[in-house]
């Protein structure tokens, strides 16, 4: 092998011609290997025409594509005027691997409005394309910003474009207190649905995204899935003994989806205050009775303690503790009517003509608090001593002695078993 010396540059060897050919081939192969494969390939639509009307005939098509590397994927449609309708928007995708990506398309895209169109209090989140010829575009952008797109044409025909409208959505009252105190215990939602074969959903949504489903009122006039006025009677689960959602302001959503897949929504707000299942008891199930034997005309006194160990205040009403009844009287003769949701301490004796005729508030002014409308409550976590008496001025009934006992009544709601027939006394009345 020959060589020559270059001044100040050392010695350079000359490769034979065959060696140069091998070196050139290696360079070509390296350069070819460095070339990237197409980002997006094998894009196909299984049909160039669909009729999205839920008749199960040519309603959908299948879209397939391959990605050679990770990318954000978009699929959209352009009408003759260049308006864009989005089916997928910059959704991250990994390389497709051996199998292509596949997705079904039913003609439904992200919500849009027609020129000059206004909606009556609801929004469209998904909507079917109107009849016409569209350019479809499948587009991918990789992490280096390289974008590739493939396009074609699609005809939409005989589309069911009638929207499932949600009209006159209302929530009342805007503030409610689900605690079974008989005041604003329920919220009512009403909405009119315009389209048949449509599912309707109503729920509360909190700031963390938790949903609280609302069931339709059993008395609603509409038939499920059909047009009509739908009513929802919401007690926040308290009537079934479940704790309601935490106090706070919620967005109430009504959502409708028709058979084609169009989706509409409307919303209002609802504030929950003082929510909770009322839990109150006669403390230790204990009643202190003044005597077990009295003379006709004397008074049987009692003392007991009410404990509110729930998370919500309990409402009460008079007469106040310390009141003494004649046994011929009852709460009504003292001007105290039954009030739904009110808690009262009560005494019953076997000879009484009505259930628990003698009743008292569950505390006095020293422990009760009053709201802005004059309703009185025993706060959560509070105990109250209740006293009272029954003066037996008349000997009536077949039993003597008779059993008398205490109860804690949640009026028009329940007398729980633990608060019924508490600590009976076997009372004898001596008749001169």
Domains of the chain with bracketed CATH = 40-108+129-156 (2.60.40.3880), 166-272 (2.60.40.2550), 280-430 (2.60.40.10)
Closest CA to 381 of 299, 307, 331, 304: 307
Residue 300, CA distances (Å) to 111, 288, 296, 321 in order? 74, 11, 10, 14
DSSP assignment string, 32-95: HHHSPPPSEEEEEES-SEE--SSSSSS--EEEEEEESS-EEEEEEEE-TT--EEEEEEEEEE--
**Calpha distance 144→146 (Å, rounded):** 6
**Calpha distance 122→137 (Å, rounded):** 30
Residue 332 is predicted with a pLDDT of 95
Tokens of 205: 């949504």
Burial bucket for residue 323 (CB in 10 Å: 0-12, 13-18, 19+): middle
Residue 395 is predicted with a pLDDT of 86
**pLDDT tens digits, one per residue of 394-419:** 988 889 999 999 999 999 999 999 99
Tokens of 105: 């398309």
Closest CA to 175 of 81, 311, 268, 78: 268
**pLDDT tens digits, one per residue of 116-172:** 999 999 999 999 999 999 999 999 999 999 999 999 999 999 999 999 999 999 999
DSSP assignment string, 339-406: -TT-EEEEEEETT-SSSS-EEE-SS-TTT-EE-TTS-EEEPTTEEEEEEEEEE--S--SS-SSEEEEE
Statement: the pTM of the whole predicted model exceeds 0.85: no
Residue 35 is predicted with a pLDDT of 58
Residue reference for tokens 């005729």: 357
Sites in the chain below the pLDDT cut of 50: 1-34
Q: Is the peptide bond before 352 cis (omega within 30 degrees of 0)?
A: no
399 in Cβ contact with 405 (< 8 Å): no
Residue 96 is predicted with a pLDDT of 96
Burial bucket for residue 186 (CB in 10 Å: 0-12, 13-18, 19+): middle
Residue 322 is predicted with a pLDDT of 97
């Amino acid at each position: 092998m020959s060589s020559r010396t270059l001044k100040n540059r050392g010695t350079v060897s000359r490769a034979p011609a065959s060696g140069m050919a091998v070196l050139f081939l290696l360079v070509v192969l390296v350069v070819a290997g460095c070339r990237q494969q197409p980002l997006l390939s094998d894009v196909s639509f299984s049909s160039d025409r669909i009729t999205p009307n839920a008749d199960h005939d040519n309603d959908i098509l299948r879209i397939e594509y391959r990605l050679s590397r990770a990318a954000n994927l978009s699929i959209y449609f352009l009408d003759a005027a260049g308006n864009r309708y989005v089916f997928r928007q910059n959704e991250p995708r990994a390389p497709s691997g051996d199998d292509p990506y596949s997705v079904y398309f039913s003609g439904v895209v992200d919500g849009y409005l027609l020129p000059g169109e206004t909606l009556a209090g609801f929004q469209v989140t998904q909507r079917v394309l109107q009849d016409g010829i569209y350019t479809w575009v499948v587009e991918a952008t990789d992490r280096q910003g390289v974008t590739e797109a493939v396009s074609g044409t699609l005809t939409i025909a005989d589309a069911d474009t009638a929207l499932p409208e949600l009209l006159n959505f209302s929530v009342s009252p805007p503030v409610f207190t689900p605690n079974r105190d008989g005041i604003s215990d329920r919220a009512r939602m009403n909405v009119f649905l315009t389209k048949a074969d449509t599912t309707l959903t109503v729920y509360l949504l909190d700031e963390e995204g938790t949903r609280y489903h609302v069931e339709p009122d059993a008395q609603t006039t509409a038939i499920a899935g059909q047009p009509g006025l739908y009513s929802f009677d919401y007690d926040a689960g308290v009537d079934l003994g479940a704790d309601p959602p935490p106090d706070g302001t919620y967005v109430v959503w009504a959502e409708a989806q028709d058979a084609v897949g169009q989706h509409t929504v409307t919303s209002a707000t609802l504030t929950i205050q003082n929510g909770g299942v009322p839990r109150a008891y006669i403390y230790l199930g204990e009643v202190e009775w003044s005597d077990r034997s009295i003379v006709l005309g004397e008074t049987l006194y009692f003392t007991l303690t009410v404990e509110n160990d729930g998370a919500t205040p309990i409402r009460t009403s008079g007469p106040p503790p310390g009141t003494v009844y004649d046994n011929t009287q009852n709460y009504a003769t003292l001007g105290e009517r039954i009030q739904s949701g009110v808690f009262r301490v009560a005494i019953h004796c076997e000879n009484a003509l009505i259930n628990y005729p003698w009743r008292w508030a569950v505390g006095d002014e020293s422990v009760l608090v009053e709201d802005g409308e004059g309703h009185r409550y025993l706060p959560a976590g509070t105990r109250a001593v209740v006293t009272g008496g029954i003066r037996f001025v008349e000997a009536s009934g077949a039993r003597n002695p008779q059993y008398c006992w205490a109860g804690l009544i949640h009026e028009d709601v329940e007398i729980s078993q633990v608060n019924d027939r508490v600590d009976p006394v076997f009372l004898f009345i001596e008749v001169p």
